[in-house]
Structures are given as structure tokens and as C-alpha cells.
Amino acid sequence: MKKFLLISILLAAFSFGAAAVAPDEDPDIKWAADLLKPGTQVPDFTLEDLSGRKVSLSDFRGQEVILVFWASWCPDCRAEVGDVRKMISAKGKRAVISISFDRDIETLREFVKENRLGGLQLFDPAGKKDSKVAADFHVRWIPSLYYIDPSGKVILSTVVSGKVLDAIGK
């Protein structure tokens, strides 16, 4: 009986170890590695919202900002819609700005409406690959998120919205 129990424990430990992901293989760590680091001054940009009004990131200087890069066609982004809604509803004095890499504004408008996404929705019709904003923020994977302090410096950069929710205390 003792031998069976010992073998079972060893097999369970081996299985767990084999299934664990090494930090250099963790996709969240891999894709977040190139994002702007905490303390980095963020670049300014100007994009249009869903009504065509031009909005600049510098318009929000003096406030904390949660900046979300996403697209309605992105499965990982769709999976995080609930967390994005939580960030928007828990924003307090923070601005929540979402930048979509959808190429069709009508598709984006429909998705935002169907999923009751609030906050400020900006449209970057260049798409992720060709976006100057994505390049400036080192966005290689979506969703990517930044938590920015009132002076415009990165507090946190990540590809996991739950980490931003933890950082803002919600």
C-alpha cells in the first residue's frame, strides 16, 4: 500500500511538472516583454472616436488612464470583454480608453453596441500590423493594456486585463 501511494505521488508530481509552463514559454510573459516598461513616458497620439471626433492621449494628462488595445475579431479580446467592462465600471477618476484595430468602423460600432462597451472607444483603421500607435506602444499582441499615471508614465503594461484590475484595486 505504501509503495502504491508513493508511486501515485511521484506520478502526480511528474505530471504537474511536465504540464507547468516555463516562464520563457508563457505566452503572457512572451508577448508582454516588449511593451513599454513602468516609468516610461508614453507617446502621444490622436485618433478618432466612433463619432469621428479627434481625441489625443494628451487630453487626459492629469488623470490616470487605462489604455486597452484590442479588436472585435480577436478571440482573446472577446474573452476579456467582461474584464474590460469591470475596468470601465470601476474606473473612478480614471479614464478608460480602448483603441480598436478593426478595419471597418461599422463592425466595431456594432460590436461595441452589442457588448455594451462603454468608455472611450477609438478607431485605428490602419489595423494592428500597420498602426503607428501600435508600433509606438510596442503592441505585438492583443489585447495589450497599459495603466498610465497622471504625468503620462507607465505604471503597468500587460497582455492580461486581470493584472490591470488587480493594480487598480478592483
| Rounded Cα gap, residues 28 and 35, in angstroms | 11
What is the residue whose three cell numbers read 508563457?
A: 26
Domain layout of the chain by residue ranges: 37-167
Condensed to tens digits (0 to 9), the pLDDT of residues 54-110 reads 999 999 999 999 999 999 999 999 998 988 888 887 767 789 999 999 999 999 999
165 or 53, greater pLDDT: 53
| Rounded Cα gap, residues 22 and 89, in angstroms | 35
> Quick one: CA dihedral 138, 134, 145, 66, positive or negative?
positive
52 or 7, greater pLDDT: 52
Alpha-helical (H) ranges within 66-104 are: 75-79, 81-89
| Rounded Cα gap, residues 40 and 105, in angstroms | 31
Fold of 37-167: Glutaredoxin (3.40.30)
